[in-house]
Structure 1
Amino acid sequence: MSDTTVDRRPRVAVFRPADERIDDAVALLESLGADPVADPMLAVESTGAVPRDAPLVVLTSKTGVELAAAAGWNPGDATLTAIGPATARAAREVGWSVDVVPDEYTSAGLVTALESRVADERVEVARSDHGSDVLLDGLREAGATVTETVLYRLARPSGTGESAELAAAGDLDAAAFTSSLTVEHFLDAAAERGVRDAAIAGLDAAVVGAIGPPTAETAADHGIDVDIVPDDAEFEALATAVINATTE
Structure 2
Amino acid sequence: MAAQNRPLSGLRILVTRTREQSGELAGKIEELGGQAIVLPVIRLQPPTDPVKLAELEQAIRELDKFDWVIFTSVNAVIHFFNRLEQFEVEAVRLQRSRIVAVGPKTAGALLERGLVAYKVPERYQAEDLFEAIAPELKPGQKVLFPRSDLARKVLPDRLNSLGLKVTEIDIYENKLCTDHADILVDLLVRGEIDVVTLTSPSTFRNILTLIRTAGAEPDELLTGVKLACIGQVTARAVQEAGWSVHYLAEEATIDSLVQVLIPAGRE
Question: TM-score, with normalisation over the residues of structure 2?
Answer: 0.82
Taking every aligned residue pair, what percent have the same amino acid on both sides?
A: 23
Unaligned runs of 5+ in 1: none
Q: Write 1 or 2 for the structure with the bigger share of helix.
A: 2
Structure 1 letter corresponding to 2:210: A
Residue 137 of structure 1: aligned partner: 157
Residue 86 of structure 1: aligned partner: 105
Greater Cα radius of gyration, structure 1 or 2: 2
CA RMSD of aligned residues (A): 2.2
Which sits farther off after the overlay, 120-129 or 222-231?
222-231
Alignment of 1:88-167 (within 5 A): 88-120=107-139, 121-161=141-181, 162-167=183-188
CA–CA distance in structure 2, aligned partners of residues 166 and 144 of structure 1:
49
Q: CA deviation at 1:105?
A: 1.2
CA–CA distance in structure 2, aligned partners of residues 170 and 146 of structure 1:
47
Alignment of 1:188-203 (within 5 A): 188-199=209-220, 201-202=222-223
Structure 2 letter corresponding to 1:11: R
CA–CA distance in structure 2, aligned partners of residues 17 and 243 of structure 1:
23
Q: 1:174 aligns with which of 192, 195, 201?
A: 195
Q: CA deviation at 1:92?
A: 0.7
CA–CA distance in structure 2, aligned partners of residues 220 and 231 of structure 1:
17
Structure 2 letter corresponding to 1:157: C
State whether structure 2 residue 33 is matched by structure 1 residue 33: yes
> CA 1:6–1:93 in structure 2 vs 1: closer, same or farther (change >3 Å)?
closer
| 1:80 and 1:99 in contact (8 A); partners too | yes
Structure 2 letter corresponding to 1:234: T
SS at match of 2:169: strand
Q: CA deviation at 1:119?
A: 2.3
SS at match of 1:40: coil
Question: TM-score, with normalisation over the residues of structure 1?
Answer: 0.88
Residue 209 of structure 1: aligned partner: 228
Deviations 1:6-64 (A, max 9, x none): 79620001111122x12332222111211111111111102374655211000111122
Which sits farther off after the overlay, 158-167 or 227-236?
158-167
CA–CA distance in structure 2, aligned partners of residues 140 and 188 of structure 1:
34
> CA 1:92–1:159 in structure 2 vs 1: closer, same or farther (change >3 Å)?
same
